[in-house]
Amino acid sequence: MTQHVRGVVSLQRVARGSKSEQPAVVLQTSERSWVLRRVGGPPFGVDDELALWAGKTVDVTGYAGSGVFLLTELPTEVTG
């Protein structure tokens, strides 16, 4: 069920005008962008733990939903 993807983390305001509008951490992959969350993390707003990865390219593992990529472990920074 879990997947591995690579992307760039950023902070953005998501789902504008919807019932879920919020500032959030976003993962931009080569395919699409996801709202990034982690199991046990806050469902709304910015997860300070994940915000630390903003601007970095990372490998992540987790569940891919309709709009959310839910991390089952913390990201790994891609270097070099």
Partner 1 sequence: MPSVPVIKVLVTHQEAARAKYGRAGWTKIRHAATALIKADRTRGITTRLFALDSTSDAKKVHGQAVIAPTDVAAIKAAIDQISTFWQPAYIVLLGGPDLVATVNLTNPLWTGNPADDPDQFIPSDLPYACDGPLTLSPADYRGPTRVVGRIPDLVGDTDLAAFVDNLSFAAQGKSLLRTSPEPVFTVSAKVWQRSTQLSVAGLPDTSCDVHMSPPDGPMWTAGDMAPAIHFVNCHGAEFDPNWYGQQSPNNWNLPIAIAASGLPGLVPRGAVVASECCYGTSHWPPSAAQGQASVATTYLREGAAGVFGASTVAYGPAASNAYADVICRMFVAEVLNGASLGRAVLVARQQFVQAQSFLDPTDLKTLAQFNLLGDPAAVAFVTPLPAAPALPGSRRVAAPKSIPTPATSPVVLMRRGQLASIGAALARSTFACADLPRRRAGLTVTALAGLLGRALPGRTTIRTFDAETPSKPPPEAQAIVDTAGTSPRAHVAYVARAGTRPPSLVVVREAGAEPEVRVVERK
Site residues, partner 1 (CB under 8 A): 1, 12-24, 26, 32-35, 37, 39-40, 43-45, 63, 65-68, 70, 72
- Nearest approach, Cβ of 35 to partner 1 (angstroms)? 5
Question: What is the C-alpha to C-alpha distance for residues 28 and 18, in angstroms, rounded to an integer?
Answer: 21
Question: What is the C-alpha to C-alpha distance for residues 7 and 42, in angstroms, rounded to an integer?
Answer: 21
- Nearest approach, Cβ of 59 to partner 1 (angstroms)? 19
HSE-up (13 A, CA, CB side) for residue 61: 6
In the complex with partner 1, which residue's Cβ is closer, 26 or 60?
26
